[in-house]
Amino acid sequence: MKVADLYIRVSTDEQAEKGYSQRDQEERLRRYCEINSIAIRKVIYEDHSAKTFNRPEWKKILVDLKRNRGKIDVILFIKWDRFSRNAGDAYQMIGTLRRLGVEPQAVEQPLDLSVPENKMMLAFYLAAPEVENDRRALNTFHGMRRAKKEGRWMATAPMGYVNTTVNGVKTISPAPLKSEIIAWAFQEIAKGVHSIKHVWREVNKRGYKCASASFERAIRNPVFCGLIIVPKYMDEEEHLVPGQHEPLISKELFYQVQDVLHGRTRKLTLRPDKDQLFPLRGFMVCPKCGRNITGSSSKGKYKYYHYYHCDAACGVRMQKKDVDHEMVEFIKQYELPEEMLDLITIVFQHIFNSKTAAFGNELSQVKNELSSETDRLKKARNMLLDGDLDAVDYREIKAESEQRIERLESKLEDLEARQVKFNPSVLVKLTQLSRMYQNGTSEEIRTLMSSMFMEKIVFSKLKHRTPEVNPVLQLIKLINNKLQGEKSEAKLDISALPLWVTPEIQKSNSFAHGMKLLEILAA
């Protein structure tokens, strides 16, 4: 009597659609063995894809057959697609089983493989499910690619998002708290101050636990700025399309981060232990040897004393408190007087408006052209409905209008992205430079130093050699110097002053100084 093992493999869709449940397969296989007087050694259940033979239970079968060589005659299954959906792998496995003395057989598609002609039928039985699998996979691929082109995210939600369904359509939306952490991470990386590892650790501290590799991979994905990647396929190159989801960051911020990641932006990596205490490290050089000044602390009897010093043998050493005092006094020379703030705000607003007037006119012109083109298309549609325009002419007008509208919308989007608004609060900071240095964090102080000085600072006996300073601050210092020499002034003749200056401002005691600033800025 022959001895058989029964192999039963199912998948979820086949259970629901084709009735290939485990119990049904087992019942039919047992009935076949009973009719043909075949003894059943054991029943193997498999719930795995048949695309390959890399299946858990099948591996166990091969090990068992090698141990019990000669004890099993046949492996029975319902159809050949239960055995395999890959013709090439199936032929190899049939050869392996025959070498072990075992014959594979499908009870509903029986074949005597000793007959050469039956191998043609075997090829058909094996190729048909493989073709079905490939067609299904190809349809799925094209469907997902079309969805990507329409701006839909077709996978597990990336960091900071959750998978949701809107009107029956699967999409992603920002996750509470997590989306804010990811947006913060992009802002920190764009500064180029801290390393990616440091930002990743801070992300974990803020409550968003993720692996370092996953984080570094995620920050390179444009999905966070509202773009979806459509991969290269055949003759179509990889490209980006606008996504239907809500972006977490702007496109400008995303590309700033990419510049930092690819080394196109100078990175100033802080060492938290020293740079928090010595923010001027990296901004000062030794007056004797020209090397960078560093900082360190010495322990006294009751407290620590902090010094800026040179690592070379030249012996330059300065107490941190003295350097800070000198720096504050130096910065005060470049502060804008508070009594001039209102006046200078009006001056800058006027200059800003005059410089951006042409830009505003171009923006208005594009909006008007877009409105006119939209009205033209609407008018053509109404004429078509009234019978005053035939379909052929309407299609030509529609194609031309849509092309112009698309071009104008693109231009309008670009102009609006480049539009800059005047922010008076920036000028307030010019009156608070010394306070920003005294009360700011290490990072804020270093940002202030970077914006003020065009070169490194040289301290010599606590008296700094004048470094090259931002041109705007040079103008402010020039005005301050003139103010000190003009405490008493003759009465102003305001008859020829610009009309945009209000009478209240014209009567201000500091107006003459503001006009001098305007003359310097206009020069």
- For the record, the structure tokens of 177 come out as 């708290």
State the angle between helix axes of 511-522 and 341-386 in degrees (0 to 180), rounded to the nearest 10.
60
Q: Residue 233 has what DSSP assignment?
A: B
3-state secondary structure of 200: helix
Tens digit of pLDDT at every position of the chain (523 positions)? 899 999 998 875 555 445 567 888 899 999 999 999 999 999 999 888 778 888 889 999 999 999 988 888 999 999 888 888 888 888 889 889 989 999 999 998 888 878 888 878 888 888 777 788 788 888 888 888 888 888 888 888 999 999 998 888 888 999 989 999 999 999 999 888 788 888 999 999 988 888 989 999 999 999 999 999 888 888 788 888 899 899 999 988 898 888 888 875 554 444 444 556 788 887 788 888 878 888 888 877 778 888 888 877 777 888 888 888 888 888 888 787 777 777 777 877 777 777 677 777 888 888 899 899 889 888 888 888 888 888 888 888 888 888 888 888 878 887 777 676 767 777 777 788 888 888 888 778 877 787 777 777 776 654 555 567 766 666 677 766 766 655 444 443 433 334 334 444 344 444 444 444 444 333 4
Task: State how far the Cα of 60 lies from the Cα of 46, in Å rounded to an integer.
Answer: 11
The structure's pTM equals 0.40
Superfamily of domain 3-136: Resolvase, N-terminal catalytic domain (3.40.50.1390)
Structural domain 161-261, CATH architecture:
Alpha-Beta Complex (3.90)
Cα separation of 228 and 241, whole Å?
Answer: 5
CA angle 440, 445, 451 (to 5 degrees): 130
What b/e string do you get for 243-252 counting C-beta neighbours within 10 Å, with b at 16 or more? bbbebbbeee
The answer to whether the CB of 448 falls within 8 A of the CB of 433 is: yes
Q: Within the chain, which residue ranges are assigned CATH 3.40.50.1390?
A: 3-136
Tell me the CB-side half-sphere exposure of residue 26, using CA atoms within 13 A: 10
What distance in Å separates the CA atoms of residue 44 and residue 281, rounded to the nearest whole number? 71
Query: Coil, helix or strand for 118?
Result: helix
The number of beta carbons lying within 10 Å of the beta carbon of residue 225 is 19
Q: What is the 3-state secondary structure (H, E, C) of 283-327?
A: CEECCCCCCEEEEEEEECCCCEEEEEEECCCCCCEEEHHHHHHHH
Q: In which residue ranges of the chain is CATH 3.90.1750.20 found?
A: 161-261
Taking alpha carbons only, the member of 485, 472, 482 closest to residue 516 is 482
Are the C-beta atoms of 341 and 428 separated by less than 8 Å? Answer: yes
